[in-house]
């Protein structure tokens, strides 16, 4: 056979390890990024003077530079500064895994901030006016009306961001982390193969993308069903 499937099956623990690392480097950073992005998106949507400029600068830098460059600057560049090596963050920043974790979190938060900002700004004015008419406070208006409506509008771009984060996580393999791609490359190097490891990694990424797409499709059917136009 042109592709040695047996060697892939025999090394399933390697790919299992890579899959676990990939899931950890995607799921937890996305959750943290989402928690960070919501208040930042509010600052951007409400145009809060100085804070808005700071948040815009943050999102511009992290969306305007490749994730790989950000990871290299953190992993290879941070150690050059004495104050970093003597700080409480050094036990984390000297580890490749945590550098990848932090880079993916900060980069994802920048993208999610702009996604949520756009969703908040596109909440219909009528919904906000109705909330005011009911006597809701500013916090209640945001928590009970604006945020749920923005969440629904953010679902389609949010699904794309999750997939992009999954694909972007492959940069972790460039700094010795065994993720899915790292497992494929290690397999090729171990057995002097050309494509088996990469093909196995591609299949795993396709499967993960399929699961993410299916999950968001179900979520969208649940939360966006009221937007469907009924056919007579």
Could you tell me which residues come within 8 angstroms of residue 109 by beta carbon, excluding any fewer than 6 positions away? Answer: 32, 33, 34, 36, 37, 40, 62
Average pLDDT of the segment spanning 87-99: 90
How high is the pLDDT of residue 47? 87
pLDDT tens for residues 153-176?
899 899 999 999 999 999 999 999
Residue with more model confidence, 183 or 126: 183
Q: DSSP letter at 73?
A: I
Residue with more model confidence, 98 or 134: 98
Give the confidence band of 59 by pLDDT, cuts at 50, 70, 90.
Answer: very high
CB neighbour class for 162 (10 Å; exposed up to 12, middle 13-18, buried from 19): buried
d(CA 73, CA 65): 11
Quick check: 31 pLDDT over 90? Answer: yes
How high is the pLDDT of residue 2? 75
Average pLDDT of the segment spanning 60-65: 96
- Mean pLDDT estimate for the chain: 90
Quick check: 1 pLDDT over 80? Answer: no
How high is the pLDDT of residue 223? 80
- Asked if residues 71 and 65 have their Cβ atoms less than 8 Å apart, the reply is no
Give the confidence band of 227 by pLDDT, cuts at 50, 70, 90.
Answer: low
Q: Which helix or strand (DSSP H or E) is residue 49 part of?
A: helix 49-64
- Asked if residues 15 and 204 have their Cβ atoms less than 8 Å apart, the reply is yes
Residue with more model confidence, 126 or 100: 100
Signed CA dihedral, 109, 113, 116, 119: sign only: negative
- Asked if residues 176 and 15 have their Cβ atoms less than 8 Å apart, the reply is no
Q: What is the pTM of this model?
A: 0.89
Phi, psi of 131 (to 5 degrees): -65, -40
Q: In this structure, how many other beta carbons lie within 10 angstroms of the beta carbon of residue 98?
A: 15
CA angle 97, 18, 103 (to 5 degrees): 30
């Amino acid at each position: 056979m042109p592709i040695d499937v047996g060697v892939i099956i025999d090394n399933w623990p390697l790919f299992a390890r890579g899959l676990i690392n990939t899931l950890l480097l995607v799921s937890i950073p996305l959750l943290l990024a989402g928690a960070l992005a919501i208040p930042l998106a509010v600052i951007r949507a409400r145009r809060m003077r100085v804070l808005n400029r700071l948040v815009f600068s943050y999102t511009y830098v992290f969306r305007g530079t490749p994730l790989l460059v950000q990871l290299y600057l953190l992993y290879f560049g941070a150690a050059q500064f004495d104050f970093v090596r003597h700080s409480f963050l050094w036990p984390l920043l000297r580890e490749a895994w945590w550098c990848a974790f932090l880079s993916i979190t900060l980069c994802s938060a920048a993208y999610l901030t702009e996604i949520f900002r756009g969703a908040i700004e596109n909440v219909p004015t009528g919904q906000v006016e109705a909330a005011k008419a009911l006597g809701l406070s500013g916090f209640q208006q945001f928590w009970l009306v604006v945020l749920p409506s923005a969440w629904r509008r953010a679902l389609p771009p949010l699904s794309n961001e999750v997939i992009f984060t999954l694909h972007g996580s492959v940069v972790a393999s460039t700094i010795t982390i065994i993720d899915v791609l790292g497992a494929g490359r290690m397999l090729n190097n171990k057995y002097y193969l050309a494509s088996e490891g990469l093909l196995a990694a591609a299949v795993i990424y396709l499967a993960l993308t399929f699961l993410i797409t299916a999950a968001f499709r179900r979520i969208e059917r649940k939360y966006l069903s009221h937007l469907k136009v009924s056919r007579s």
